[in-house]
């Protein structure tokens, strides 16, 4: 599997601090290796074909699975 960022996700990524970018990179590495890795806590979001994964306690990323690609839709702060 490979990772592809949408235009929106790329913009979200570029606005993150360098430390958060490193955390996102680590989570994306885990995602390509194992969708069910515990630190990702990946699950379908709201009964749609969109998935949610954890970056950390405060940030989430949302993605779709298209054939052999995880298409990252956005990386945003978690609404609490």
Average pLDDT, the chain: 96
Residue from 80, 41, 34 nearest 62 by CA: 41
pLDDT at residue 71 is higher than 80: yes
Tell me the average pLDDT across 41-58: 94
pLDDT computed for residue 79 by the predictor = 79
Question: What is the pLDDT confidence band of residue 60, given thresholds at 50, 70 and 90?
Answer: very high
pLDDT at residue 32 is higher than 80: yes
Angle at the Cα of 60 (from 68 to 2), degrees rounded to 5? Answer: 15
| Full-model pTM | 0.94
Sequence-distant (≥ 6) Cβ neighbours of residue 23 within 8 angstroms: 55, 56, 59
Percent of the chain with pLDDT over 90: 91
Alpha-helical regions (H) of 1-80: 7-15, 18-33
């Amino acid at each position: 599997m490979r990772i592809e960022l949408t235009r929106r996700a790329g913009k979200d990524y570029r606005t993150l601090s360098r430390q958060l970018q490193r955390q996102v990179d680590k989570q994306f590495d885990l995602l390509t290796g194992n969708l069910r890795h515990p630190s990702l806590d990946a699950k379908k979001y709201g009964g749609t074909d969109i998935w949610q994964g954890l970056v950390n306690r405060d940030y989430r990323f949302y993605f779709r699975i298209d054939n052999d690609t995880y298409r990252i839709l956005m990386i945003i702060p978690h609404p609490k």
